C-alpha cells in the first residue's frame, strides 16, 4: 500500500512496513473505519493482534483529521476497533 515518494512518513508501529501516509491514502480511497484500515487496507489485524491494538490510536488520530470526525465519533470508532481487534486470538501464552 505504500506510495512511492512518501518515505518521510512515520511507521504506524515498529516491525511492520505500514506508514501514516498509508492511512491518509486509505481515507482518500473511501476507508471509513479504523477496522477497515487495520484489516483490509494494511492487513495488520490479521498479522499481529498486539501491533494492531497499538496502531488503533495513531490510526484514529489520522482518520479524525482526514475525515473530520468529532471527538465523540473518534471515541466510538476507537471503542469499536478495540472490540474488533480483541476478537482475534493473538499469541498463545504458555
Nearest Cα to Cα of residue 26 among 66, 77, 61, 70: 66
Q: How far, in Å, CA of 44 to CA of 58, rounded?
A: 13
Q: How far, in Å, CA of 58 to CA of 13, rounded?
A: 9
Nearest Cα to Cα of residue 46 among 13, 82, 17, 89: 89
DSSP codes of every residue in 36-85: IIIIIIS-HHHH-HHHHHHHHHHHHHHHHHHHT--HHHHHHHHHHHHHHH
Kindly report, residue by residue over 26-69, the tens digit of the pLDDT: 999 999 999 999 999 999 999 999 999 999 999 999 999 999 99
pLDDT beyond 80 at 94: no
Kindly report, residue by residue over 2-24, the tens digit of the pLDDT: 455 545 789 999 999 999 999 99
pLDDT at 1: 52
pTM of the model: 0.86
Nearest Cα to Cα of residue 57 among 22, 13, 24: 13
In a 3-state reduction of DSSP, which class is residue 6?
coil
Amino acid at each position: 500500500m505504500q506510495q512511492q515518494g512518501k518515505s518521510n512518513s512515520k511507521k504506524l508501529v515498529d516491525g511492520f512496513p505500514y506508514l501514516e501516509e498509508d492511512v491518509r491514502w486509505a481515507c482518500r480511497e473511501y476507508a471509513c473505519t479504523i477496522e477497515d484500515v487495520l484489516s483490509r487496507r494494511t492487513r495488520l489485524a490479521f498479522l499481529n493482534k498486539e501491533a494492531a491494538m497499538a496502531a488503533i490510536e495513531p490510526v484514529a488520530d489520522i482518520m479524525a483529521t482526514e475525515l473530520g470526525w468529532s471527538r465523540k465519533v473518534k471515541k466510538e470508532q476507537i471503542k469499536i476497533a478495540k472490540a474488533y481487534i480483541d476478537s482475534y486470538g493473538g499469541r498463545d501464552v504458555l
